[in-house]
Amino acid sequence: MRFPCLVLDHDDTVVNSTATVHYPCFVAYTAQYFPHYHCTMEEYFLKNFHPGVVSFFRDDVGMSEAQMLHEQAWWNEYVQSHVPQAYPGMKELLWRHVERGGRLCVVSHSYSANILRDYRENGLPEPDLVYGWEQPRERCKPNPWPLDQIMAAFDYAPEQLLMVDDLKPGFDMARARGVPFAAAGWGYDIPEIETYMRANCDRYFKTVPELAAWLED
């Protein structure tokens, strides 16, 4: 295998969740609690790309820490009844990796319980480790703490991991530890994000089959 361990983001990398779950939830929440605030789905993607969800909610939407906790609880309740679908080809890619003896780990801004549910509902192999949004904020992406835990748990060197993510916080996390990074470009078409990721990441893939073929090469 090119990489013994795949470290995967979840939303818009493994499952198509922003367009079908997270953005509709955000629109519903802000309509009720922050009716002065509006943004398109493209703007929502861009703000999650940079500066990231915490700064986005705090500085753009104007949420206090208490309001962010309320939004978090509201969002988590919404997610319970909305299961996103895995991208075509993802199931085959992940099962092939596991069947060849590889490990799967997930580092995400979604909750671990929801991630594991999405894997089950989509027939994906259960990850070996999951680091989600239930972690203390200072341990979440872009902090490289999850990568440190993964490398320590399995005695991996940075070059034995491949981080696959669609957004800059995942790239920043991987870069901080010298972990190879593959940009997931199949979730949406936003030129600003694609331009940045193509210019800065080790690899950029527009489709899941492109990534799968490269891993097999």
For residue 125 the two structure tokens come to: 């192999």
Domain count, the chain: 2
Q: Is the peptide bond before 88 cis (omega within 30 degrees of 0)?
A: no
User: In the beta sheet, which residues pair with residue 77?
Assistant: none
Mean of the pLDDT values across residues 112-116? Answer: 96
Does residue 117 share a domain with residue 24?
Answer: no
Q: Tell me the CATH number at 119.
A: 3.40.50.1000
Question: What's the whole-model pTM score?
Answer: 0.90
With contact defined as beta carbons under 8 Å apart, do 168 and 196 qualify?
yes
> Which percentage of the chain shows pLDDT scores above 90?
93
| CB within 8 Å of 8: residues ≥ 6 apart | 14, 104, 105, 106, 107, 127, 164, 165
Does residue 123 share a domain with residue 135?
Answer: yes
Domain stop point among 60, 79, 98: 79
Compute the distance between CA of residue 49 and CA of residue 46 in angstroms, rounded to an integer: 5
φ, ψ of residue 199 in degrees (nearest 5): -75, -25
Q: Which domain holds residue 154?
A: 5-16+85-216
- Quote the pLDDT of residue 93: 98
- Quote the pLDDT of residue 217: 80
Does residue 12 share a domain with residue 22?
Answer: no
Q: What one-character-per-residue DSSP string does 39-94 give?
A: --HHHHHHHHHTT-HHHIIIIII---HHHHHHHHHHHHHHHTT--PPBPTTHHHHH
Q: Write down the H helix ranges in 122-190.
A: 145-154, 168-177
Does residue 105 share a domain with residue 61?
Answer: no
Does residue 153 share a domain with residue 67?
Answer: no
pLDDT tens figures, 137-171 = 999 999 999 999 999 999 999 999 999 999 999 99
Q: How would you classify the pairing of strands 129-131 and 161-165?
A: unpaired
Does residue 73 share a domain with residue 32?
Answer: yes
- Quote the pLDDT of residue 49: 87
pLDDT tens figures, 29-54 = 999 999 999 999 999 999 988 888 88
What's the whole-number average pLDDT of the chain? 96
Does residue 185 share a domain with residue 122?
Answer: yes
pLDDT tens figures, 83-113 = 999 999 999 999 999 999 999 999 999 999 9
pLDDT higher than 90, residue 56: yes
Does residue 182 share a domain with residue 96?
Answer: yes
pLDDT higher than 90, residue 1: no
Q: Which of helix, strand or coil describes residue 144?
A: coil
**DSSP state letter for 59:** I
Does residue 108 share a domain with residue 153?
Answer: yes
pLDDT tens figures, 167-212 = 999 999 999 999 999 999 999 999 999 999 999 999 999 999 999 9
Compute the distance between CA of residue 53 and CA of residue 59 in angstroms, rounded to an integer: 10
Does residue 44 share a domain with residue 122?
Answer: no
